[in-house]
Amino acid sequence: MTTTTYREAVREAIRQALRNDARVFLMGEDVGHYGGCFAVTKGLLDEFGPERIRDTPLSESAFVGAGIGAALNGMRPIVEIMTVNFSLLALDQIINNAATLLHMSGGQFNVPLVIRMATGGGKQLAAQHSHSLEGWYGHIPGIKVLTPATIEDARWMLATALADPDPVLIFENQTLYNMEGVLDPKVTFVDIDHARVHRAGDHISIITYGVGLWKSLDAAEKLAAEGIEADVIDLRALRPLDNETFLGSLAKTHRALIVDEGWRSGGISAEISARIMEIGFYDLDMPVQRVCGAEVPMPYAKHLELAALPQPETIAAAARKMVRKNG
Amino acid sequence: MPSLGADMRAAILMRWRVKPGDRVKRGDIIAEVETDKGLIEIEVFENGVVDQILAEPGKKLPVGTVLATIRGEGEPAPVIVTPPAVAPALEPVSEAKPPVRAAPMPHVRASPLARKSAQELGVDLSKVTGTGAGGVIEQADVLQAAAMTKEEKPLAPAEKFRRAVAAAMSRSNREIPHYYLATEIDMTRSLGWLTDQNAKRSLKDRLLVAVLLIKAVARALADVPELNGYWIDDQLQKKDAVHAGFAIALRQIGLIAPAIHDAHLKTLDELMAAIHDLIPRARSGRLRSSELTDATITITNLGDLGIETLFGVIYPPQVALVGFGKVANRPWAERGTIVVRPVLTATLSADHRATDGLRGAQFLEALNDRLQTPEKL
Amino acid sequence: MSTDGRDFLYQMLRIRRFEEKCVELYSAEKIRGFLHLYIGEEAVAVGSISCLAPDDAIVATYREHGQALVRGVSASAIMAEMYGKLEGCARGRGGSMHFFDAQKRLYGGNAIVGGGLPLSLGLALADKMQSRQRVTCCVFGDGAVAEGEFHESMNLASLWKLPVLFLCENNLYAMGTALQFEHSVTELVKKADAYNVAAAAVDGMDVFAVKAATQKALDYIRAGGGPYFLECRTYRFRAHSMFDAELYRSKAEVQEWKKRDPIATLSARLKGEGAITGADIEQMERKVADEVSEAVNFAEAGPWEPVEDLTRFVYSERTPS
């Protein structure tokens, strides 16, 4: 088992997809000659040529729509939108076409499209470049939303997404690209509709996704030293949400803490909280708590940005308060 | 009146373009109506002769209103221009307000899990003290209460009790920041006084050391009242009355600490009577729930078991536990020489949120003082 | 030529009478939602689609009844769709603005102005990448030309030489906004220059002119020339949709354009050439009337999709190959 990075894992996933299926091609801004804004596709243009690694103009609507059309007509495109911030320019295509064509056509046309985007804040890129909108996309029926947090998921979720007959959006938190780790050679497939428990504990359930997983595991270590043991759950997909896993954890711990990079109001944390209330109400020994992004456009100054996002300390403090009922 | 849009409910008939007897064909404009969007011409879909005008200009008419009739070629019966009147959409009927209950029932604030547990364990929520935020009853509170029994109900099975105690103790350890102080008390005077007292009493009226300890604790609390009360909702609720939880060992189960109410007011004899009453009832599972929830401080005396020093775990929501070991003869320094004295190690386990070491130490000093003047107890 | 002419007349008449029936049914609340009629524009759909191959694709707008009918989607399926019935061409899930037919390669019916253009790019791209000689005919109006998606799509189609026929139905109004209030450059065909796209403008009221222009465009595209922009100058005789008081244009203007009614002008021309008689036309009318009333009966009698099936077709029920 050799060490690799999240970035390399995504690259290898794309490479494998291009090798295995002639219908697969990748298009997006700067994916070819530039090598990818986050260097994910570096070297792929040389390896696969301009027909299969296509640089597009800055036309999100056009190339996402083109991805949809190509998927309708026999291809298996991977559209790379540089970041979720720019995906807003393609919202019409994603929500009014990709998500609806199967339904509007009464089942005649499905859209086997994969869209990958970088997401998240934490690099002092300020308000327009720091969104975490994957939870928002989780609101839309007709698409699937994935948030690979681990290198294993970065490596293997793409293949499962490409095999899915419906549009799948994959959100890669940009602070994870450099993350190092080891891939288990025995794992060659992952599902895209189940959460995973990364740490087991009886006192509290910490439910999270994406980079929140690593912040929560950090917090869980701190808490363990204080005698508080947490279940840490990586949702892995925000649509569909794996109720069974987090509700099962709640049945054991009776306390739920949700960690979400996005804003609290109307976000995915609210949805999870609602499901816990609806289905797991009688397992609750206290109200569900959430640690979310602060309700503010992302500020540039470092200390403000840190305060605007969940951190291991704030996660631990919230958990501590729930278990100890003091600070 | 035709429907021209999903959000069109009605329009005002402005002008007729035809009159009875006029011949019309499909597509002819027959009238003008004023809508929210402006004046729109409406057409007829049949060929025929205008028979009757049924609506006058100037009125706002809902979609579906018959405006005129047209007689088809060679037809005697009139052809209706517009479709049959569509039943107007029913306005949603507001729900009748439920009748106000004569006597509103008191609402007990408890977590969903606590309610479920209470139901399973047969605990009356209205009698449980909650220690969650705002006094909400949480599961541990219910488990604690369930560990006790009510008058009419039989003792909860030992297993449930043990589990409840385990839960309560874990929670205590987790939630309460304990600090511990110990002091050694020269019991010469107290034991001496006790011997004298008991010499004048019959066997069954004998006073045990325990009651001296209880009374001394109760009196010492007058000096440091912050050790007598509950920590609830991030603050200390001091209690005036001292209901001393007195730890009793139950075989196979462990310690139970029912309250001796108003220990500060009882005489030593009354305290003895209380103990004599409590112990058998504890052992046969006939304690009252008030005895199990009212303790404002707990006293654990394990001297009989040969323990020298005891560091106890506080029973939440109390903020202190006083522990006594055995009285043992020990070397004692006095006026520059070593003597042998009967010494008792008294410990205080206290909640650091309610008191600090200074107050704790002052309490132990007060306790010591009281035990040096047993005749005043 | 005359067989073409008779066929063209019949097709246009078919669209016209079908649309007129829709007006009646909408007023009677059988058809709900939005209804955008093709009356006056028939020559564009008939002339252009006559040139398309059966396996070419069409991406249309919400004003698509003409395209759907000419393409061969059955009038019954279309009517049932507008009634919201299960046997509609989209199971009643789409309505008037969303006709789909996989066999006819009709990809809607798009209610977002300009929303179909990027889709066309992808359909064309896939054909090109799979070495298929197919054209994607993307229909849109003058309003769409102002949308960013038009410009992005023209640019990308030109850059990648995609086999797209950008067919613009310029009826002079984007809903209620006249051309001069929409565009800094009102001669729409000129905009293609900015993207190095071959282009032409044609009289959209003349079905033969439309046919000729479309054929030229398709030849160009099939020869590998890349995309083509064809502006068809046409006019809708009725309002934008049913609920429209037409405050933005004068009745006189409408009357002027009605003089160039494609059906009337073709009919007159064919009669003048002796290619058709009054009786022929009456026969056509009867045939069309029969088809329309059959479609209405079909729609009226058809079942509704069971409510229990509401949440179907959000995700696929089968795994495609």
Question: Are the Cβ atoms of C318 and A57 closer than 8 angstroms?
Answer: no
Chain B interface disruption, residue of C24, C26, C293, most B CBs within 10 A: C24
Q: Which residues of C260-293 are buried (b: 16+ CB within 10 A; e: fewer)?
A: bbbbeebbebbeeeebbeeebbeebeeebeebbe
What are the helix (H) ranges across chain B?
112-121, 139-147, 158-175, 188-199, 209-220, 268-283, 289-293, 357-372
Which CATH number, 2.40.40.20, 3.30.559.10, 3.40.50.300, 3.30.360.10, labels domain B178-376?
3.30.559.10
Closest partner residue to C244 (CB to CB) among B6, B37, B45 is B37
Token pair belonging to C39: 């009356």
Collapsed DSSP state (helix, strand, coil) of residue A48? helix
CB pairs under 8 A between A and C: 153
- Domains of chain B, by residue range, sit at 10-80, 109-175, 178-376
Q: Does A69 touch chain C (CB under 8 A)?
A: yes
Chains with ≥3 CB–CB distances under 8 Å to B:
A, C
Say how far apart CA B216 and CA B373 lie, in whole Å: 10
Cβ contact C96:C36 at 8 Å: yes
Using alpha carbons, select from C97, C103, C8 the residue that is nearest to residue C60: C97
Cβ contact C21:C296 at 8 Å: yes
Active site residue A29: no
Q: Which domains does chain C have, with CATH numbers?
A: 2-303 (3.40.50.970)
Say how far apart CA A218 and CA B345 lie, in whole Å: 43
Closest Cα in chain A to B175 = A324
Residues of chain B contacting residue A325, judged by C-beta atoms under 8 Å apart: 131-133, 175, 234
**At CB < 8 Å, which residues of chain B contact C?**
2-8, 26-27, 35, 37-40, 42-43, 45, 63-64, 82-83, 86
pLDDT of residue A235: 98
Q: Does C274 touch chain A (CB under 8 A)?
A: no
- Distance in Å, alpha carbon of B47 to nearest chain C alpha carbon: 13
pLDDT at A160 over 50: yes
Between the two ends of chain B, the Cα-to-Cα distance in Å is: 99
pLDDT of residue B319: 93
- Distance in Å, alpha carbon of A94 to nearest chain B alpha carbon: 27
**Is 2.40.50.100 the CATH classification of the domain at B10-80?**
yes
pLDDT of residue B158: 61
CA A168 to chain centre: 11
Catalytic residue among A8, A60, A134, A305: A60
Residues of chain B contacting residue C34, judged by C-beta atoms under 8 Å apart: 6
Question: Are the Cβ atoms of B111 and A283 closer than 8 angstroms?
Answer: no
Alpha carbons within 13 angstroms on the beta-carbon side of residue B45 total 18
Residues of chain B contacting residue C29, judged by C-beta atoms under 8 Å apart: 3, 63-64, 83, 86
Q: What is the DSSP letter of A11?
A: H
pLDDT of residue B83: 43
Question: Are the Cβ atoms of A285 and B175 closer than 8 angstroms?
Answer: no
Instruction: Quickly count: other Cβ atoms within 10 Å of residue B62's Cβ.
Output: 14
Q: Which residues does residue B334 pair with via DSSP β-bridges, in sequence order?
A: B337
Confidence class of residue A282 from pLDDT cuts 50, 70 and 90? confident
| pTM tops 0.80 | no
Question: Are the Cβ atoms of B6 and C28 closer than 8 angstroms?
Answer: no
Q: Does C33 touch chain B (CB under 8 A)?
A: yes
Closest Cα in chain A to B232 = A325
Low-confidence ranges of chain B (pLDDT < 50): 79-103, 151-152, 155
Question: Are the Cβ atoms of A254 and B133 closer than 8 angstroms?
Answer: no
Residues of chain A contacting residue C93, judged by C-beta atoms under 8 Å apart: 103-106
Active site residue A60: yes
Find all residues with CB under 8 Å of A96, minimum gap 6, and list them. C110, C111, C112, C115
Residues of chain A contacting residue B234, judged by C-beta atoms under 8 Å apart: 325-326
Question: Are the Cβ atoms of B35 and C243 closer than 8 angstroms?
Answer: yes
- Domains of chain A, by residue range, sit at 3-182, 196-324
Closest partner residue to A106 (CB to CB) among C100, C115, C126 is C100
If you write DSSP's letter for every residue of B288-316 in order, what string do you get?
Answer: -HHHHH--SEEEEE-GGGT-S---PPP-T
Token pair belonging to B142: 């219910």
The vertex-B123 CA angle with B122 and B128, nearest 5°, equals 175
Cβ contact C222:C163 at 8 Å: yes
Closest Cα in chain B to C33 = B6
**Is 3.30.70.1450 the CATH classification of the domain at A3-182?**
no
Low-confidence ranges of chain C (pLDDT < 70): 1-2, 318-321
Write the secondary structure of chain C as one string of H (helix), E (strand) and C (coil). Answer: CHHHHHHHHHHHHHHHHHHHHHHHHHHCCCCCCCCCCCCCCHHHHHHHHCCCCCCCEEECCCCCHHHHHHHCCCHHHHHHHHHCCCCCCCCCCCCCCCCEECCCCEECCCCCCCCHHHHHHHHHHHHHHCCCCCCEEEEEECHHHHCHHHHHHHHHHHHCCCCEEEEEEECCEECCEEHHHHCCCCCHHHHHHHHCCEEEEEECCCHHHHHHHHHHHHHHHHHHHCCEEEEEECCCCCCCCCCCCCCCCCHHHHHHHHCCCHHHHHHHHHHHHCCCCHHHHHHHHHHHHHHHHHHHHHHHHCCCCCHHHCCCCCCCCCCCC
Chains with ≥3 CB–CB distances under 8 Å to C:
A, B
Collapsed DSSP state (helix, strand, coil) of residue B49? strand
Q: What is the pLDDT of residues A71-128, one digit of tens each?
A: 999 999 999 999 999 999 999 999 999 999 999 999 999 999 999 999 999 999 999 9
Using alpha carbons, select from A303, A207, A319, C97 the residue that is nearest to residue B6: C97
Say how far apart CA A160 and CA A158 lie, in whole Å: 5
Run of H or E residues at A312 = helix A312-324
Say how far apart CA C160 and CA A270 lie, in whole Å: 44
C-alpha dihedral over A132, A137, A138, A140, to 10 degrees? Answer: 170
User: What is the arithmetic mean of pLDDT over A199-227?
Assistant: 97
Long-range contacts, stretch A185-189, CB < 8 angstroms, 24+ apart: A185/A1, A187/A152, A187/A156, A188/A156, A189/A156, A189/A159, A189/A160
Identify the architecture of domain A196-324 in CATH: 3-Layer(aba) Sandwich (3.40)
Helix pair C116-129, A60-72: axis angle to 10 deg: 50
Going by DSSP bridges, is the β-strand pair A204-208/A230-234 parallel, antiparallel, or unpaired?
A: parallel
The vertex-C243 CA angle with C239 and C246, nearest 5°, equals 40
pLDDT of residue A325: 66
Identify the architecture of domain B109-175 in CATH: Irregular (4.10)
If you write DSSP's letter for every residue of A269-298 in order, what string do you get?
Answer: HHHHHHHHHHHHGGG-SS--EEEEE-SSPP
Q: Does A286 touch chain B (CB under 8 A)?
A: yes
Q: Does A225 touch chain B (CB under 8 A)?
A: no
> Taking all residues of chain A, what is their mean pLDDT, rounded to a whole number?
96
- Distance in Å, alpha carbon of A264 to nearest chain C alpha carbon: 27
Going by DSSP bridges, is the β-strand pair B259-260/B244-246 parallel, antiparallel, or unpaired?
A: antiparallel
Chain B interface disruption, residue of A228, A273, A285, most B CBs within 10 A: A285
Distances (CA, A) of C167 to C119, C200, C236: 14, 10, 16
ipTM: 0.87
